[in-house]
């Protein structure tokens, strides 16, 4: 299947679930992440503030910001900037997708990131990722040696997805199974 067709199919499946369903399914993902040895050792984590159709991250980010340095991406034109997460009250709607983004300090040393929790439209069993098509994450992922953990619902984990040269593989994929 083409990337465009996979994105369409996953979008249709997501519509079958309410936000409450997705929050409930997200709980098993975060339980697995919290028990993940690499995450437990990590001090600096690049996470994401979820949109309504993604694995729900808000509670997870707030919880772990008390113990770890949590970073969040911000869309700036065709790039992602990374900023420190300093609390829910310091988020403002971003320019890209109107996702709440931190407005505080910029983070630039990608080598200090231990773990990146990566959203995606779909992942496959050989750790490939299909994003929304803008290439935002691939640019960041290609510049760091951090552990890259793909985060998804079960129905987003496919046997195979098409890849291109610039696509960056995950270190692991954790789904809601």
Residue 132 assigned to a binding site = yes
DSSP H/E element including 100: strand 100-102
94 is in an annotated binding site: no
Q: Is 134 known as a binding-site position?
A: yes
Would the annotation count 104 as a binding residue? no
Residue 87 assigned to a binding site: no
* 135 belongs to an annotated ligand binding site: yes
Q: Are 175 and 156 in contact (CB under 8 A)?
A: yes
Q: Do the annotations mark residue 164 as ligand-binding?
A: no
Does 116 show up as a binding residue in the annotation? no
**Nearest CA among 164, 161, 115 for reference residue 138:** 164
89 annotated ligand-binding residue: no
- 153 carries a ligand binding annotation: no
- The answer to whether 177 is a known ligand-binding residue is no
Does the annotation place 130 within a ligand binding site? yes
CB 83 within 8 A of CB 102: yes
Helix, strand, or coil here: 150?
strand
148 is in an annotated binding site: no
**Binding region:** 3-7, 54, 129-137
**Binding region for substrate:** 54
**Binding region for ATP:** 3-7, 129-137
């Amino acid at each position: 299947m083409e990337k465009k067709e996979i994105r369409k199919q996953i979008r249709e499946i997501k519509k079958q679930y309410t936000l409450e369903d997705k929050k409930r399914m997200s709980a098993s993902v975060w339980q697995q992440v919290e028990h993940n040895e690499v995450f437990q050792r990590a001090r600096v984590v690049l996470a994401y503030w979820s949109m309504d159709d993604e694995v729900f991250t808000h509670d997870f980010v707030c919880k772990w910001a008390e113990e770890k340095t949590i970073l969040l991406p911000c869309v700036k034109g065709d790039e992602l900037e990374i900023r420190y997460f300093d609390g829910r009250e310091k988020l403002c709607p971003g320019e890209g997708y109107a996702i709440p983004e931190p407005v505080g300090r910029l983070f630039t040393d990608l080598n200090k990131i231990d773990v990146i929790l990566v959203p995606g439209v779909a992942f496959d069993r050989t750790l490939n990722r299909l994003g929304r098509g803008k290439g935002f994450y691939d640019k960041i992922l290609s510049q760091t040696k951090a552990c890259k953990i793909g985060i998804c619902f079960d129905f987003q984990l496919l046997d195979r997805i098409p890849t291109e040269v610039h696509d960056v593989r995950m270190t692991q994929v954790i789904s809601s199974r």
